[in-house]
Amino acid sequence: MATSSGLKPPSGAALQKAYPLGKIEPNSAKYFASCMVGGIIACGPTHTLVTPLDLVKTRRQVDPKLYTGNFSAWRSIFANEGLRGVFFGWTPTFVGYSFQGMGKYGFYEVFKHIYGDTLFPNANRTLVFLGASASAEFIADVFLCPFEAIKVRMQTTLPPYANTLREGWSKIVAKEGVAGLYKGITPLWGRQIPYTMCKFATFEETVRYIYKQLGKPKESYNKLQQTGVSFLGGYIAGIACAVVSHPADVMVSKLNSERKAGESSGKAMTRIYGNIGFTGLWNGLPTRIVMIGTLTAFQWLIYDSFKVWLGLPTTGGH
């Protein structure tokens, strides 16, 4: 895979020499499976921990007048519903984003190898990152979509549409069939694919830039220092992709809560946009920047720490 300067990153043999991978060969089935497990560990728990932020963000996207601010929202929810209310919707969040993490990170490594090493070995590095991340997210969203639909309905309706993942799944399937779980797939792709393209390409290039500014090759730093770079690069990438994907995030929340039976996605989005206008697409952005920046930073930290624990190289920097 060529860089924009025409220089190629280390070959598989060079990486094998630089990093003792033990029984896990680079770009093997076991390597890709390990990356999928790393994605599950990175995404499921981190998204679950920020459920209180996501809950308030989603409700304010649907009804900006519902709460005056995040802290007042949490105080109100806690006073009425206790800690369970603050973390309401954590189950579909945990399951859905665990599946999404598996697809996002695991298939990113798969497609990066296919596009960069096999199909287009002389392609521009950034184009490979963008193509691999878009392909991976397309698959990951198929895993995520049913759980995202349930989560949004649970969080944006008062009283709640459902109180548990099982109840939400049963109610949607009973009323709308399995298709009801996927009616938000198009706007979800519209939100998540640009988000992930920005997340992975920005991360890879940011990490490379950090090592360039430090003045020494990545391999000259210890694993703790490398994972620190991953955290910093992840936070910068998170801020960028939060802004890029926010309008689509608002539309997904609106569609899942307000779309009428039998209404097409295009017609529903046109109607919703007519109601909220351009400024309405940016409701909740500051909260989402904090949430996604922190979330992305810790995801890259956890993912690369897991890879280091397995004896694999951290992501990026070549």
Write 158-161 long-range contacts (CB < 8 A, 24+): 160/88
Task: Specify if 14 maps to a domain.
Answer: no
Q: How many CB atoms lie within 10 A of CB 264?
A: 12
Using 50, 70 and 90 to split pLDDT, how confident is the model at 210?
A: very high
Using 50, 70 and 90 to split pLDDT, how confident is the model at 127?
A: very high
Task: Specify if 221 maps to a domain.
Answer: yes
Instruction: Show the tokens assigned to 178.
Output: 């399995």
Q: Any idea what the Cα angle at residue 254 is, between residues 131 and 164, rounded to 5°?
A: 95
- Is 247 in contact with 281 (CB distance < 8 Å)? yes
Task: Specify if 7 maps to a domain.
Answer: no
Q: For 71-105, write each residue's pLDDT tens digit.
A: 889 999 999 899 999 999 999 999 999 999 999 99
- Is 223 in contact with 258 (CB distance < 8 Å)? no
Query: Is 50 exceeded by the pLDDT of residue 10?
Result: no
Task: Specify if 158 maps to a domain.
Answer: yes
Least confident residue range of 43-47, 48-52, 62-66: 62-66
- Is 112 in contact with 32 (CB distance < 8 Å)? no
Task: Specify if 20 maps to a domain.
Answer: no
**Of 284, 203, 189, residue with least CA distance to 239:** 203
* For the ranges 1-10, 18-27, 93-102, 233-242, the one whose mean pLDDT is highest: 93-102
How far apart are alpha carbons 66 and 50 in whole angstroms?
A: 20
- Residue ranges in the chain assigned as alpha helix (H): 12-18, 29-49, 51-62, 70-86, 90-113, 125-156, 165-176, 185-214, 223-258, 265-280, 285-309
pTM: 0.81
- Is 200 in contact with 121 (CB distance < 8 Å)? no
Higher pLDDT, 101 or 157: 101
Task: Specify if 282 maps to a domain.
Answer: yes
**Of 196, 100, 94, residue with least CA distance to 145:** 100
Task: Specify if 225 maps to a domain.
Answer: yes
Amino acid (one-letter) located at 117: D
Give the mean model confidence (pLDDT) for residues 44-71: 85
How far apart are alpha carbons 181 and 169 in whole angstroms?
A: 8
Least confident residue range of 81-85, 180-184, 204-208, 313-317: 313-317
**Of 58, 86, 89, 92, residue with least CA distance to 72:** 86
Total structural domains within the chain: 1
Domain of residue 253: give its range: 29-310
Higher pLDDT, 144 or 60: 144
Using 50, 70 and 90 to split pLDDT, how confident is the model at 5?
A: very low
Amino acid (one-letter) located at 316: G
Give the mean model confidence (pLDDT) for residues 156-179: 94
Task: Specify if 118 maps to a domain.
Answer: yes
Query: Is 50 exceeded by the pLDDT of residue 172?
Result: yes
- Is 132 in contact with 204 (CB distance < 8 Å)? no
Q: For 248-297, write each residue's pLDDT tens digit.
A: 888 877 887 777 877 887 888 889 999 999 888 888 888 788 878 888 99
